[in-house]
């Protein structure tokens, strides 16, 4: 009887260890908050309201500015979905369009925004990109990353109708 109790205790201890190891290996990593960028937007969100698939693409310009006292190197510009493209304009120079990583090439932008300088990020949304399954509320993000690891998120939403 004593051997059975010891065997049961050892079995339960082994099962507990296996349970701990399995729970650690299947834990879902939590996203970390993006570092703040020295580039800011006057209005980082926009709501298109109701938009029709039939009427084609819609776009929104976001005004961004380097609020630091040093130049900020813009490394990347990309979107959260393949239905959205983004372009960057600094003065007369335009960069892009840039899309979603994995669905389109996302080359480095590699340009500086001087202290106090403003630029425009244009988000272009194709409401028909997802077909009939894309009807209803949507929310998309355009990401502007700087060389220091800071990320500015520009978000828009819409209610897509047929």
Going from N- to C-terminal start, the domains of the chain cover 39-161
Average pLDDT of the chain is 84
The answer to whether 152 and 44 have CB atoms below 8 angstroms apart is: yes
pTM for the structure as a whole: 0.76
Q: Which residue carries 């209610």 as its tokens?
A: 159
CATH topology of domain 39-161: Immunoglobulin-like (2.60.40)
Q: Looking at the chain, how many residues does it have? A: 162
* pLDDT tens-place string over residues 85-121: 999 999 999 999 999 998 766 789 999 999 999 999 9
**pLDDT digits 0-9 by tens, 48-71:** 999 999 999 999 999 999 999 999
> How far, in Å, CA of 61 to CA of 123, rounded?
6
**CB–CB of 73/90 below 8 Å?**
no
Tokens of 72: 């900020």
**Is the peptide bond prior to 97 cis by the omega test (within 30 degrees of 0)?**
yes
> Looking at residue 35, what DSSP letter applies?
B
**Candidate ranges 28-32, 36-40, 120-124; pick with highest mean pLDDT:** 120-124
């Amino acid at each position: 009887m004593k051997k059975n109790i010891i065997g049961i205790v050892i079995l339960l201890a082994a099962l507990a260890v296996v349970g701990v190891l399995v729970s650690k290996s299947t834990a879902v990593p939590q996203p970390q908050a993006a570092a703040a960028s020295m580039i800011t937007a006057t209005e980082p969100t926009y709501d298109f309201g109701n938009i029709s698939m039939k009427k084609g693409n819609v776009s929104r310009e976001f005004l961004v500015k380097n609020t630091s006292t040093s130049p900020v190197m813009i490394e990347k510009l990309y979107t959260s979905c393949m239905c959205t493209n983004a372009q960057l304009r600094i003065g007369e120079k335009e960069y892009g369009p840039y899309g979603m990583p994995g669905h389109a090439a996302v080359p480095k932008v590699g340009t500086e925004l001087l202290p106090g300088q403003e630029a425009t990020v244009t988000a272009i949304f194709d409401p028909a990109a997802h077909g009939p399954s894309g009807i209803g509320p949507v929310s998309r993000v355009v990401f502007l990353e700087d060389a220091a690891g800071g990320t500015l998120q520009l978000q828009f939403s819409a209610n897509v109708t047929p």
